[in-house]
Chain A
Amino acid sequence: MSASPTIRRSPASSSRDPQSAKNFDRLYKDHVDLIYRFAHRLCGEPEAAKDLVQETFLNAYRGFDRFRGDAQISTWLYTIASRACRRMRRRRKGAPERELSLEEFIPTSDGEFRLQIPIDGLSPEEALQNKELRHALDAAIDQLPKKYKMVLVLRDMEGVSAKEVGTIMGLNERAVKSRLHRARLFVRRQLSARGLGEPLTDHHHDSRG
C-alpha cells in the first residue's frame, strides 16, 4: 500500500490556491491507481469505478485543508472513497443490506466442504488462470452484502490492517474481524457445491452437539 505523508499543507490555504493545485496533482498522481483498484473491486465494473474515483478525489481536493495528517494519506482516501461509495449506493436505492449469520455457513452436504473447482497443489496465481474459477470468485465477491464486501476488499484484497479498516469504516477491530469472517465464509460457500449448484448428497448431523 502506498502512502505519501509528506505533502505540504498550509493551514490557511484554500482548495483553489496554486499550492493546493500542486498538492492535488501530487496526491492524484501518487494515489489514483490505488483508489481505482479499490473502486473497481467494490463496484465490479470500470465505469462505476471511475465515477467513484472522481467523487473521491473531488472530495479530497475540497477537504484537503481538513486532512489532519495523523493518518496515512491512503487511509484518508480510502475513508473518503468508502463514504462516497455508500452515498452513491443510497442514490441507486438497491436492495437493503442483509446480515450474514454463521449458521448459514455450516455445510449440509459432503460437496460443500471443499471448493467445487479443485485447486489443490496449485499456487493462487496458477489457480486464477482458470477463467471459470476467476469468474466464480468475482461473482461471489459481487454477491456479498456491501458492508461485508467492503471489509473483504480492504482487508484481503487491498491488504489493509484490521485496525485501519476500522478507522476507514468507523468500526472497532472486533466488528471488522467478525464481518471479515462472515464475508470469507460466504465466498467459500459460493465456490462450494452449494454455490455452484452441484447435485447434493446427504450430509447428516446428529443432534447431540
Chain B
Amino acid sequence: MAQRSASKRKRQASTTGQPHTHGKSRCLRILRQLSAYIDDELSTNICQEIRQHLGACPNCETFVMSLRQIVSLCRQSPAPALSTADRALMREKILKTASSR
C-alpha cells in the first residue's frame, strides 16, 4: 500500500513537470531492452534491474506503459474484411491470368 502511494506520488510528480534527471545514455540502455522486457524475453536479473529503474523513474515508467499500450492496440486493431463478391471476382481474375500466360 505504501509502495502504491509512493508510485502514485512519482506519477503525479512526472505530470507536474519534474525534470528527468538521469542521463541520456542510461535512458538508451533501458530503451534498448523494452520490447524484450514487455515480451517477457529477458532473464530474471535484467527484469529486476529494469523494474528497479522504472520504480525510481516515473517518466520511464510512463514510457513503458505507453509502449505496452501500443502493442495492445496493434494486436486488437480491427481487421478489414473482404466481401463475398470481391472474393469470387479475384478468384476468377487469378484463374484467368494463370491460364492466359
Contacts and interface: CB of A to CB of B under 8 A. Distances in A.
B59 A110 contact: yes
A24 B78 CA distance: 28
The number of chain B residues touching the other chain, given as a range, is 35 or more
Interface stretch (A1-9, A66-74, A76-84, A123-131): A123-131
Interface string B74-101: 1111111110001100110111011100
A54 interface: yes
A114 B21 CA distance: 17
A103 B28 contact: yes
Dominant SS among interface residues on chain B: helix
Interface string B15-35: 001011111111110011011
Contacts of B98: 15-16, 58, 61-62
B46 interface: no
B31 to A, nearest CB: 6
Contacts of A120: 65
Given A15-B98, A103-B28, 5 more contacts: A128-B76, A152-B74, A177-B41, A187-B70, A205-B27
